[in-house]
Structure 1
Amino acid sequence: MADRIDRADRTLMTAQDDTTAAERDSQGRHDAIREHEVERTFDQVVQNGRPRLYRTPTELVASGTIAGVEIALGVLAFLAVEQATGSKLLAGIAFSVGFIALLLGNSELFTEGFLVPVAVVAAKEATWSRLGRFWVLTLVGNLVGGWVTMWAVVNAFPALRSTAVKDGATYATSSLHLSTFLLAVIAGVVMTLLTRMRNGTDDDVAKVVASVAVAFLVAGLSMYHSVLDSLFIFGGIHAGGSYGYGNWIVFFAWSVGGNIVGGLGITTALRLLRSGERLQEWRAAPGPHHDG
């Protein structure tokens, strides 16, 4: 009788061990010690980002163009405050108008399209070609919307022309040195961090605070942001600055390279590594929108 009970206990313990083993992840961690908050955030990133990659080309260009308009309004606020106070730090806080408009308007800024869309593709919920289309059309929309709006700003507020020319020259005539490239790298890191912070909370107030903080860092400290600073250059050109589109092309290539290194090569890569286990689970069971 005792032998039968002992065998039964061993059988039950073996079954429990098998069940526990089945619930462990690839690193041997069972459910109780997995970081569910990190995994829930990653799930939210993929779920929220997936529809963005399945927009039509027209929708992508429209969303990017609206974002260019909104960022240009932030530049307007920056120029007005800088001219009134002489402080770029205060102007950087004023620029947060643009980031808040992006947040509440659900429009697309190119440098905010690193973490979320890449996570969707890494999870096999969309293809790399969709990601490339998303980036190109969003960027085109950002630049077109920003160019047109900065033309309107300079002509509607002629008193800001001298400030627009001066700020545009900061970027259009800058040297291609390690320091300026690192300013672009840091800007890419900070912008992608903003995306992560926005996806890490459902509190709109917290999202607004994050937007103000990042605006202060990127605009107030004159980091090299490919889209934002292109709008400063466009404003200076419209206002009669001595630099031109050739200067802008050089600046844009330099800054977008740094933004990609910081946003993709550092922040996004580390975030994907941080959520590596959950990413592998997504890859093993692609969702209904997976298209090869």
Structure 2
Amino acid sequence: MVDQKRQRERMGETDLDIEEELLSEAATTVTEGTKRLNRTWVELIVTGLFGGIDIGLGILAMILVKQATDSDILAGMAFGVGLLALKLAHSELFTEEFLLPINAIVAGQGTWWQLLRLWAVTLVGNLGGGIAFAWLMVMALPNYHDTLIQSATGYLEPVAVGTMIGLSLLAGATITLSTRMQQGTSNDVVVALICLSTGLLVIGLGMLHGALNAIVIFAAMFAGAPIALTEFLAWFAVVIPLNMLGGLLVITLPRLARTHRVLRAVRTGEVSLETLEHEAG
């Protein structure tokens, strides 16, 4: 147990007398974020590719349930299987990479170049793995082509500007928060519930997530949907930045403000990351 008096005695004049839960959040997010920032190129590429493939598994479950029940809510819960696969297989989706690595950078454990490299390679890897899985899915499951096309056209159909902005911001924020919640527990049952509820929200509410929806859209294109590549690229160029803003502004910055003092102490050397992990543990 970490008490405020011992915190002050250990850290002197830094006044980092924050509660144990925040110390734990800082320690776990910085440690995990540092690992992600320092992956080799090969590790980054493979992790991104498998992130797209794992999400493809969720899309398989989604279209199976969607065609059987015509329920977006049930299809969303089924999609949670893909999010659970991401967690258990230690692969990643693009919008998972906002909170953890930024905390690591603020704590002096990485650089902004490493962050840009992480974002770019993860996004391209997700698309590459997802598109390959989409081609396989279309080839293997001709009876599900109509469901794929219906889902894809739903993402691309024109909506009010405010609706498109809101759905894109919500998607980025929801996936980023889901990642943080998973970091906060070691209970696999809780992780599974988080994944199912996240899928329920993202798919059930028709949120717009660039990397996730792109796999469905490409599957529909492979299945013969009249979707032009330029139409997809225009949609993608709007949705991805909004996903990033949702994850960064809605989730990352407020949480960063909450733990900024302890992250700054790690950065300046007032407290080591090892000591922080020990105190938080």
What is the TM-score with the length of structure 2 in the denominator?
0.90
Residue 270 of structure 1: aligned partner: 254
| CA RMSD across the alignment | 2.0
**Could you say if the C-alpha distance between residues 23 and 128 of structure 1 is closer, same or farther in structure 2, counting changes exceeding 3 Å?**
closer
The 8 Å contact of residues 155 and 206 in structure 2, kept in 1 or not, is answered as no
The aligned runs of 1:91-130 (5 Å cut-off) are: 91-130=75-114
Q: Alpha-carbon deviation of 1:173?
A: 3.2
Residue identity (%): 36
Residue 125 of structure 2: aligned partner: 141
Residues 1:247 and 2:241 are matched in the alignment: no
Question: SS at 1:125's partner residue?
Answer: coil
Q: Alpha-carbon deviation of 1:287?
A: 6.4
Residue 235 of structure 1: aligned partner: 219
The 8 Å contact of residues 176 and 254 in structure 1, kept in 2 or not, is answered as no
Residues 1:37 and 2:21 are matched in the alignment: yes
Instruction: Tell me the amino acid that sits aligned with residue 79 of structure 1.
Output: I
Match of 2:135 among 151, 158, 164: 151
**Could you say if the C-alpha distance between residues 162 and 35 of structure 1 is closer, same or farther in structure 2, counting changes exceeding 3 Å?**
same
Q: Alpha-carbon deviation of 1:122?
A: 1.4
Q: Alpha-carbon deviation of 1:174?
A: 3.1
Q: Alpha-carbon deviation of 1:22?
A: 7.5
The 8 Å contact of residues 187 and 225 in structure 1, kept in 2 or not, is answered as yes
Residues 1:179 and 2:179 are matched in the alignment: no
Runs of 4+ aligned structure 1 residues displaced above 4 Å come to 19-26
- CA distances 1:130-175 after superposition (whole Å, capped 9, x unpaired): 1100110111110000001011101100000011111111123334
Residue 174 of structure 2: aligned partner: 190
Question: SS at 2:220's partner residue?
Answer: helix
Residue 259 of structure 1: aligned partner: 243
Q: Alpha-carbon deviation of 1:64?
A: 0.4
**Could you say if the C-alpha distance between residues 68 and 25 of structure 1 is closer, same or farther in structure 2, counting changes exceeding 3 Å?**
farther
CA distance in 1: counterparts of 2:134 and 2:205, whole angstroms: 21
The 8 Å contact of residues 173 and 243 in structure 1, kept in 2 or not, is answered as no
Question: SS at 1:55's partner residue?
Answer: coil
- CA distances 1:204-244 after superposition (whole Å, capped 9, x unpaired): 21111111111100012110111111111111101100112
CA distance in 1: counterparts of 2:272 and 2:155, whole angstroms: 44
Residues 1:46 and 2:30 are matched in the alignment: yes
The 8 Å contact of residues 106 and 264 in structure 2, kept in 1 or not, is answered as no
Gaps of 5+ in 1: 1-16
The 8 Å contact of residues 173 and 247 in structure 1, kept in 2 or not, is answered as no
Question: Computing the radius of gyration over CA atoms, which structure comes out larger, 1 or 2?
Answer: 1
The aligned runs of 1:16-35 (5 Å cut-off) are: 23=11, 26=14, 31=17, 34-35=18-19
**Could you say if the C-alpha distance between residues 77 and 22 of structure 1 is closer, same or farther in structure 2, counting changes exceeding 3 Å?**
closer
Residues 1:58 and 2:58 are matched in the alignment: no
Q: Alpha-carbon deviation of 1:25?
A: 5.9
- CA distances 1:17-47 after superposition (whole Å, capped 9, x unpaired): 9x96875665x57x4xx21111112111111
